[in-house]
Chain A
Amino acid sequence: MDTIQEKRLDEQGLKLHFIQTKKFKTINIIVKLKSKLDKETITKRALLPYILKQGTKTYPDRSALQLKLDDLYGAVLTADGGKKGENHIISVRLEFANEKFIPDASNVMDEAVQLLSEVLFHPNTGATGFDDAVFKREVGTLKQKISAIQDDKMSYANMRLIDEMCKEEAYQLHVHGYEEDLNNLTNDDLFNYYQHMLEQDEMDIYVLGDFVEEKVKHLIMDTMQRTEQQGTKEADPAAKNSVIEQNEIIEKQKVQQAKLHIGFRTNTTYQDEAYFALQVFNGLFGGFPSSKLFINVREKNSLAYYASSRLESHKGLLFVFSGIAPDDFEKARDIIRLQVQAMKDGDFTEQELNETKDLIVNQLKETMDHPQGLIEILYQQVIGNRQMTPTELLEGIQNVTKDEVVHVASKIEEDTVYLLTSEGGEQGE
């Protein structure tokens, strides 16, 4: 395996990260803008990626912009917002074919960097901020997106679990923002916030692929000027909230299948030494088809098609997801709880431990074979404010002992059980 070398440069308020690799037929450039999660700004931050994709000064509407992308051999521009711990991250990504694979192509890199910088720094503006028609239209798009969440029952149940579990915490903020805040938002407000964001957010730029570093560095510095930031901001300390009171929430809707989602506090985050052991815990517990949840909830008891768990590394949460028949709620919940207890009791073999470590290492290495996956792994270090090279991460996992897993398990507390189930009566079966 190639070792992954990430070269970091701090220039003009931009943090550049260069990753050289011949694995891919494309070049990826990703800009990450990070800020604290805040009810005041979340809706604006949710809206901005939609607006930025709609056009720039030179390519004032979506078709002009798209034609330019098409011309760059079908380059793909994406932009979105996400939560990582108690931070909000806006990502703007441009992926384009490496010109070396296309006969007669040249200048693709130069034009791509220019275009990305336009999208970010020179949007299409109107009299009161962004182009007014685009502003209105994208407010509408986001509103539809907010209401459409309830149509995807898995995402909906997930969101509701976090609502209930993290009521008093910034982490509960909805990543798509809030309809009432959209109703009150003016184009002017949004544009002011956008300018503030460009000045104040922590900005990281990743370039990944097979490219000439000096050239790209100059291209970026020539096009993406940024004033020095007012002192660097501390990354948010991972707010570790403990369980105040165990909750059980049951909600009814017209559904065929019930969603049983359970939230736990791990009391361990990316910044802790025990983070590696927590990853291994999750692998044994519910991360894979060989994990306790899949084997016991699905294979032994035929209760579910899916039953798995996932970690939120920066906030210290563990979520269990399962889709079950409404009548099986208590049975499934109890079986899930038994699996947590089994983990705390160290009810797994050295062999299972080693196999799970291999699976996690495999999964991480696979993610590193995907350009955007690799960048996400590298960016964890910025969020978690902890230097950890991919090699250190893999070694950390490999070195975890059974005692460490049991110890990390002992700190895990159940917080909230959330059930989305069918509205009374038989469901037409």
Chain B
Amino acid sequence: MNKETYESIGETLYSEKLDNGLTVFLLPKPEMTKSFGIFSTNYGSIDQTFVPLGESAEVTVPEGVAHFLEHKLFEKEDRDVFADFGKQGASPNAYTSFTKTAYLFSATSQIEKNVETLIDFVQDPYFSDQSVEKEKGIIAQEIKMYDDQPDWQAFMGTIKSMFQNHPVKIDIAGTVDSITSITKDDLYTCYHTFYHPENMTLFVVGNFEVERMMEMITSNQKNKSFEKMAELKRDFPEEPQEVAMKENTIHMPVSIPKCTIGIKDSNSELEKEEFLRKDLLSGMILSHFFSTGGDFYQELYKADLIDDSFYFETNLERNFGYSMIGGNTAKPEEFAAKIKEQLLSTKNYALTVEVFERMKKKKIGQLLRAMNSLEFIANKYIQYHTMGINLFEIIPAIQALSLDDAQAFLNEWIAEERLAVCTISAS
């Protein structure tokens, strides 16, 4: 077991890569009451086309399979896993994102037992025709719920207007039509391919005894056998730099229109240092301009174009990336025009050392605040780890960012052909 101590932030992390390929991280935090465990596979809604384990031909599965699979893993032949965790005082949950499917629990007692339950239920699938059919009604209601949520429609609408071919543009849960065609064989195919220990990470953080936990996990894994994993072949279509639609309007009954500007990142697969720099700077630059004190925010506020629903976010993944700026606005055309103008003006924007140092301070504070949350630490650690980055070494990386880095980022950040506007309006 490897042990790494990060003095400045007061954390000690233990890790091991097991014989079957599973990566395990344990972060003891004895001052906490709670523990949090997450078992995550590097498989999400974008992994639609791939070569199944043990086969040679590529397949494309229906939209929404990764999410469907996530639902179905909780049901076993004789019982429901929610109840197993319930009996052990734990609350389980799961989520599917574009790039990840994760199963998790939090508990304040019986942590070892709950971790074991977590690993065992994820590694023991049971899918039947009947249970697959039953789930379609539940997921259809989940999809309908999202259909009625203007914020979600604005988010997916912006994604769809940015991406032409990349499967990030498909709905994570699929559509009512696409899930109808899902079979138990689809689920098994995806399961065997993507839920191999080699493709998975287990992270446990909180109040538990490290040595015993690692022993339990190791012996649990020794007792199971997995097919040898060949290299995973996933296929992604070519994605042009340009957005799919410069403007996309969706009609649904809303009392105030919603408008979102999507910035599609230029697509290049980045090495870890570059990836981290881009990831940090995207957040810092957006925040500099568009957080409540920012110059662009102030312009929008004074021109009466935004209210407190105004938000921005950025997401950088291995083979795609984007940022969004949006909110409720009575004047969506003006809102979009103004933000586009602001974004296009950043190419020659000059930051000062003083301003940039303040941006770094803010980023550090945000990170420390986020690290109050066990969920954040575990999720973010895994996300960065897939890219070869260590979450616990980010504060020094932020401190090391230079004004030149920021200027270089700004110079490349915006291009007109990579901007899309998505509007939700009633008429």
Residues of A within 8 A of B (CB): 1-2, 21-26, 50, 53, 61-67, 69-76, 95-98, 101-103, 137, 140-141, 144-145, 147-148, 150-153, 253-257, 288-290, 294-295, 298-299, 302-306, 323-325, 351, 355-356, 358-359, 361-363, 365-366, 368-371, 429
Contact = CB atoms under 8 A, between A and B. Distances in A.
B31 A23 contact: yes
A71 B341 CA distance: 28
B149 interface: yes
A303 B255 contact: no
Nearest to A152: B149
26 contacts: A1-B108, A2-B33, A23-B372, A25-B371, A62-B301, A63-B292, A63-B294, A64-B293, A65-B293, A66-B291, A67-B293, A96-B365, A97-B369, A141-B307, A147-B255, A147-B256, A151-B150, A254-B252, A290-B86, A298-B138, A305-B138, A305-B142, A362-B34, A362-B91, A366-B34, A370-B373
B145 A323 contact: yes
Given A73-B362, A151-B150, A306-B145, A137 B137 contact: no
A398 to B, nearest CB: 11
Contact of B9 (A25, A253, A255): A25
A257 B82 contact: no
Nearest to A23: B31
A1 B252 CA distance: 50
A359 B145 contact: no
A73 to B, nearest CB: 3
B237 interface: no
Nearest 3 Cβ contacts at the A-B interface: A66-B293, A74-B365, A73-B365
A101 B255 contact: no
A366 B89 contact: no
B308 A50 contact: yes
A429 B89 CA distance: 41
B141 A323 contact: yes
A419 to B, nearest CB: 14
Contacts of B139: 305
A336 to B, nearest CB: 15
Contacts of A21: 31
Contact of B254 (A101, A151, A288): A151
Contacts of B107: 362
Contact of B144 (A1, A2, A66, A325): A325
Contacts of A370: 372-373
A304 B90 CA distance: 23
A62 B292 contact: yes
B254 A70 contact: no
B298 interface: yes
B106 interface: yes
B361 interface: yes
A101 B368 CA distance: 8
B27 to A, nearest CB: 14
A144 B328 contact: yes
Contact of B361 (A74, A147, A257, A302): A74
Interface in B285-325: 291-295, 297-298, 301, 304, 307-309
B89 A358 contact: yes
B358 interface: yes
Interface in B92-138: 92, 106-109, 134-138
Contacts of B366: 74
Interface residues of B, number: 73
B67 to A, nearest CB: 12
B147 A257 contact: yes
Nearest to B87: A355
A257 B365 contact: no
Contacts of A299: 80
A118 B161 CA distance: 44
A70 B362 contact: yes
B33 A302 contact: no
A290 B373 CA distance: 25
Given A62-B301, A70-B362, A75-B365, A305 B145 contact: yes
Given A137-B304, A429-B176, A362 B365 contact: no
Contacts of A304: 138, 141
A323 B142 CA distance: 8
Interface string B212-236: 0000000000000000000000000
A303 B137 contact: yes
A74 B363 contact: yes
B394 interface: no
Interface in B165-184: 176
Contacts of A141: 307-308
A23 B32 contact: yes
Contacts of A369: 32-34, 374
B330 interface: yes
Contacts of A253: 253
A96 B365 CA distance: 7
Contacts of A103: 8
Given A1-B33, A368-B33, A74 B369 contact: yes
Interface string B250-274: 0011111000000000000000000
A312 B72 CA distance: 33
Contacts of B292: 53, 62-63, 66
Contacts of A365: 33-34, 108
Nearest to B93: A289
Contact of A366 (B92, B106, B142, B295): B106
A304 B140 CA distance: 9
A302 B138 contact: yes
Given A70-B293, A144-B307, A361-B108, A26 B141 contact: no
A58 to B, nearest CB: 14
Contact of B137 (A69, A148, A302): A302
